[in-house]
Amino acid sequence: MKFKLDRIISIATLVASLIAIILVLKKPAPVAQPQAPAAIAEHAQSFDRKMAEFEQATQQSTASAASSTSNPGSGQAASAAPKAEVHINSDEIGAVLAQTLGNAGGAALAPDSNIGSSAPTIKDQSVTMDGDVVHGQFLTEIAGKDVWVTISGHIGEKDGYATFDPTEFKVGDLSVPVSLVNPALQKKLAEERDRLKLPDNVGAMKVQNSELVMQQK
C-alpha cells in the first residue's frame, strides 16, 4: 500500500510539474490589443502634446504664484486656481512604450545594459489601465524560452518618486503569490530609484478612471 501511495504521489507531483511548465510557457490572454503603426504614431503625438500643454500650464501657474507674491491683492485669486493636471490614456502610454522599445531595438534593454546585469531582454510589451489599476504584460526570455510576465498594481508617488504596489503577478498563465514577488520587486525598484524620479513640476501621480493622472506640484 505504501509503495502504491508513494507512486501515486510521485505521479501527481510529475503531473503538477508538467501543468506548471505548460502554464508558464502558455501565452496568457492579452491585457491590451496591439496598435497599428499609424495608431502608435498618432497616440505618441497625442502624448507629447498633452505633456507639452501640461508643462506650459505649470509654468504659467508658477508665474502667477510669483506675481501674487509680489502683489498681495491677487493672492486669493491665485490660491483658488486649480492645479494643472494631465490625463494620459492606455493607448498613449502603450504607443510611447512601443516606440521606445522599437527605437531601442533590444540593445538598450539587453542584460548588460545600464539597468543592471540581471535585467532581462524585453521583446514585446503592452500596458492598459482599468479603474485605478495598471496592467503590464512583457515578453522576455527565461532559461532560453520566451515567457510572458504579467503584473498588475497601483501606481503612486512618494517624496517626488514614482511607486508601484503589485496586486497580481503571473508567469505565462501561472499565477504567483504577490507576497513572494513583492520583496524582490521593491528591492529592484529601490536600486533603480533614480529612474523613478518624477519631473520637478509633478507633485502627485495616480491611476484614476482608467487614466494616468499627473498633477502639478
* pLDDT for res 110: 36
* pLDDT for res 103: 55
Task: Give me the count of residues in the chain.
Answer: 217
* pLDDT for res 53: 93
Which pTM was predicted? 0.74
* pLDDT for res 112: 37
Residue 152: which of 171, 172, 173, 137 has the closest Cα?
A: 137
* pLDDT for res 23: 67
* pLDDT for res 13: 59
**Strand 161-171, strand 85-88: pairing:** unpaired
- Taking the chain (217 residues) in consecutive chunks of 10 residues, what is each chunk's mean pLDDT? 59 62 73 88 94 90 66 54 87 87 46 43 85 90 84 92 92 89 89 87 91 91
Cell of 23: 502554464
Rounded to an integer, what distance in angstroms lies between the CA atom of residue 14 and that of residue 25? 17
How far, in Å, are 68, 93, 102, 163, 202 from residue 213 at the CA level? Answer: 27, 12, 25, 14, 10
Q: Which amino acid is at 209?
A: N
Q: How many CB atoms lie within 10 A of CB 209?
A: 11
* pLDDT for res 66: 64
